């Protein structure tokens, strides 16, 4: 219980740090670019939104401390103001909420898939060591992990989108279609998601394979695995029940954490494919100097990471009997 409280305290602290960063950064930058933009777009903002933005960026006549407090208050009540330039006048909250499902769908599902596949490949790769394949595969996996997302995305667009014309590579769905739960629409969504998902899968799976392989190798050297062999247990049972079950524990923590990075992690993929998720929005906001939107997204991404870490701590506690109510 005390552990949980400490963790929550840590998260609160981190959130606060992110908020404060968000508050300080625009004020540090030379030239107050924020002020210029806001002055330009004053007209399109509603009065409440204007107040929020002013508190955030230091316009107006309050001193810095009261600006800070009103800023914190606004965040606590989810008042992020309106978008300045991306979709002028539309509330930031609305824009963000529209984008979240796309990112969660694409990146979330692909991360889960990459983890499952990568872990399985890692398990088998560790179990079958010593072959000729074993000296070539790991370096290949290593190289897979350094491929930049965005570049791979471009290459896949070149091959499958432009040259072969198998898949579309812009946006989340064909904009001439009406969104809804019709088969046609869903099919179209999936069609658009295949290339970005594939890109993400290839670039992320290498890490999972390598981490699982390495923990498996260390685990396979453990005495209890040797004991399992001595008991004459069938190979598959040893591999899964004795080795993998122990090896996977540290990797699950990593997995849970990486889920947190889902929200912010695929920024470049969304950018390359014009896929309108959270990452794409962040870059659009950056390019348009849409500060309120930018800040809200940054906070969202940070909060998502924290939630994921919390979940991963809980998962570890539940899965490892040694931490579960240990004496």
Partner 1 sequence: MATLRAPGGSGGPGDSGQTATPLGGPAGGLYLPPPGAGVSGARSLRRMTRAIRSNGKASVGLGLLVLFCLVALFPGVIAHDDPSAEIYGRALGPSAQHLLGTTAFGQDIFAQVIYGTRPVLLIALGVGVSATVIAMLIGVAAAYLGGTWDGVLSLITDVLLVIPAFPLLIVIASYLHGASTGVLIAVVTAVSWSYTARQLRAQALSLRNRDFLEAARVRGERSLYIIVVEIIPTMTSLLVASFLTNALYAVLFSSSLQFIGLGNPNTVSWGTMLYWAENEEAFQTGQALWIIVPGLCIVALGAAFALLNYAFDEIGNPALRPVRSMRGKRVKRTG
Partner 2 sequence: MSSALGNGNLPRSPAERTAGTVLEVRDLSVEYAMEGGTIRAVDAVSFDLDPAEFLGVVGESGCGKSTLLFAIAQLLAPPAAITSGSVVFRGQSMVGLTDRQLAAVRWKDLSVVMQSAMNALNPVKTIEAQFRDAMRAHGVTSKHEIADRSAQVLAMVGIDAVHLKSYPHQLSGGMRQRSMIAMALLLTPELVIMDEPTSALDVVAQRSLMVQIKELQEQLGFAVIFVTHDMSLVSHFSDRLMVMYAGRIDEFGPTRELFDAPQHPYTIGLMEAFPSIRGPRVPLTGIPGSPPNLASPPPGCRFAPRCPKVMTRCQEETPELYHVNDTLVRCFLHAEDGAGHD
Q: Which residues bind partner 2 (CB under 8 A)?
A: 130, 221-224, 226-235, 237, 241-242, 245-246, 249, 320-322, 326-327
Quickly count: other Cβ atoms within 10 Å of residue 154's Cβ.
Answer: 16
- Cα-based distances in Å from 219 to 127, 216, 243: 11, 5, 6
Whether 257 and 308 have beta carbons less than 8 Å apart is answered as yes
**What, of partner 1, partner 2, none, does residue 233 touch, CB below 5 to 8 Å by kind?**
partner 2
Residue 83 or 251 with smaller CB distance to partner 1: 251
Q: Which is nearer to partner 1, 91 or 215 (CB)?
A: 215
- Cβ 245 to partner 2 shortest distance, Å: 5
As measured in angstroms, the least distance from the Cβ of 231 to partner 2 is 5
Which C-beta is closer to partner 2: that of 94 or that of 237? Answer: 237
Residue placing its CB nearer to partner 2 in the complex, 72 or 249? 249
| Nearer to partner 1 (CB atom), residue 15 or residue 185 | 15
Shortest gap between Cβ of 41 and partner 1 (angstroms)?
Answer: 17
Q: Output the smallest distance, CB 223 to partner 2, in A.
A: 4
Q: Are 208 and 114 in contact (CB under 8 A)?
A: yes
Cβ 282 to partner 2 shortest distance, Å: 41
Q: Which partner from the list partner 2, partner 1, none does 119 bind, CB cut-off 5 to 8 Å by kind? A: none
Q: How far apart (Å, rounded) are the C-alpha atoms in residues 37 and 100?
A: 26
Per-residue buried b or exposed e for 83-100, using 16+ beta carbons within 10 Å of the residue's own CB: bbbbbeeebbeebbeebe
Is residue 202 within 8 A of residue 147, CB to CB? The reply is: yes
User: What is the closest distance, in whole angstroms, from the C-beta atom of residue 185 to partner 1 in the complex?
Assistant: 28
228 is in the binding site of which of partner 2, partner 1, none (Cβ under 5 to 8 A by kind)?
A: partner 2
User: Buried (b) or exposed (e) across 269-282, using 16+ Cβ within 10 A?
Assistant: bbbbbebbbbbbbb
Residues with Cβ within 8 Å of 140's Cβ and at least 6 positions away in sequence, in order, are: none
Q: Which of the listed partners (partner 1, partner 2, none) does 190 bind, with a CB threshold of 5 to 8 Å by partner kind?
A: none
Which residues does residue 36 pair with via DSSP β-bridges, in sequence order? none
265 binds, among partner 2, partner 1, none (CB under 5 to 8 A by kind): partner 1
Of these partners, partner 2, partner 1, none, which one is at the site of residue 235 (CB under 5 to 8 Å by kind)? partner 2
Annotate 242-262 with DSSP letters as a single string. Answer: IIIHHHHHHHHHHHHHHHHHH
Residue (276 or 320) nearer to partner 2, CB: 320
Q: Is 166 helix (H, G, I), strand (E, B) or coil?
A: coil
Partner interacting with residue 231 (select from partner 2, partner 1, none; CB below 5-8 Å by kind): partner 2
**In the bound complex, what is the minimum distance in angstroms from residue 262's beta carbon to partner 1?**
8
Residues 47, 49, 55: CA angle, nearest 5 degrees = 105
Contact of residue 327 among partner 2, partner 1, none (CB under 5-8 Å per partner type): partner 2
Structure tokens at 167: 């898949």
Please list, in sequence order, all residues whose beta carbon lies within 8 angstroms of the beta carbon of residue 300, skipping any fewer than 6 positions away: 96, 263, 278
5/230 with CB nearer partner 2: 230
> Minimum Å distance from CB 213 to partner 2?
16
């Amino acid at each position: 219980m005390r552990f949980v409280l400490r963790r929550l305290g840590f998260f609160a602290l981190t959130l606060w740090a992110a908020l404060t960063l968000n508050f300080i950064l625009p004020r540090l930058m030379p030239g107050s670019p924020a002020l210029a933009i806001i002055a330009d777009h004053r007209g399109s903002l509603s009065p409440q939104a204007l107040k929020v933005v002013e508190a955030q960026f230091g316009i107006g006549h309050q001193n810095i401390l009261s600006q800070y407090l009103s800023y914190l208050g606004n965040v606590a009540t989810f008042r992020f103001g309106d978008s300045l330039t991306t979709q002028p006048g539309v509330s930031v909250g609305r824009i963000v909420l529209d984008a979240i499902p796309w990112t969660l769908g694409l990146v979330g599902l692909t991360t889960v898939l990459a983890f499952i596949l990568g872990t399985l490949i890692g398990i088998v790769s560790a179990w079958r060591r010593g072959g000729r394949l074993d000296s070539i595969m790991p370096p290949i996996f290593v190289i897979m992990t350094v491929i930049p997302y965005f570049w791979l995305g471009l290459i896949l667009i070149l091959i499958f989108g432009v040259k072969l014309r198998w898949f579309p590579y812009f946006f989340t769905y064909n904009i001439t279609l009406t969104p809804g739960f019709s088969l046609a629409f869903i099919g179209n969504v999936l069609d658009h998601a295949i290339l970005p998902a594939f890109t993400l899968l290839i670039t992320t799976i290498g890490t999972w394979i390598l981490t699982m392989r390495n923990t498996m190798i260390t685990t396979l050297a453990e005495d209890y695995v040797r004991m399992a062999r001595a008991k004459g247990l069938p190979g598959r049972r040893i591999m899964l029940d004795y080795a993998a079950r122990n090896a996977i524990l540290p990797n699950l923590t990593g997995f849970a954490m990486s889920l947190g990075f889902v929200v912010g992690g695929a920024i470049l993929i969304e950018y390359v494919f014009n896929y309108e998720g959270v990452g794409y929005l962040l870059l659009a906001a950056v390019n348009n100097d849409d500060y309120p939107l930018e800040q809200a997204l940054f906070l969202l991404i940070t909060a998502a990471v924290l939630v994921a870490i919390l979940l991963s701590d809980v998962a570890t506690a539940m899965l490892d009997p040694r931490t579960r109510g240990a004496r």
